[in-house]
Amino acid sequence: MLKVNGEPLKYTKDMTVSDVIRAKKFSFPLLIVKIDGVYIARETYDVTPVPDGSTLDIIHLISGG
């Protein structure tokens, strides 16, 4: 089981960051992803494995300021 933005998400074998984003149906184009507080570079989402039991924070960057 994973924890994504405070909510549980079922872990599947060999899950990557991209798989988590798809599973959560996140549609915002600009995301910041942290696994257990560690920043994950955007270009590595497809190949970065998400360990079972980890906590992900996915932050949407949206215009306005």
Partner 1 sequence: MKCKLNERNVEVERGTRAGTVANIHCPGADLIILNGCPVPPETLLSEGDALVCIRRGVAPTPEELDILLAARHTPGVHEKLKKAVVGIAGCGGLGSNVALALARVGIGRLVLADFDLVEPSNLNRQQYYIDQLGMPKVEALKSTIARINPVVRIDVWGEKLVPATVASVFAGVDVLVEAFDRADQKAMLVEAAMKAFPDKPLVLGSGMAGWGGNDRLHTRISGNMTVCGDETSEAIPGRGLMAPRVGIVAHMQANRVMEILLGPDEGLGPELVTGRFDETC
Which C-beta is closer to partner 1: that of 22 or that of 39? 39
Q: 55-60 and 2-4 as β-strands: parallel, antiparallel, unpaired?
A: parallel
Site string for partner 1, 4-43 (x = CB under 8 A): -------------------------xx-x-x--xxx-xx-
Number of residues forming the site for partner 1 (CB under 8 A):
17
Is residue 47 involved in binding partner 1 (CB under 8 A)?
A: no
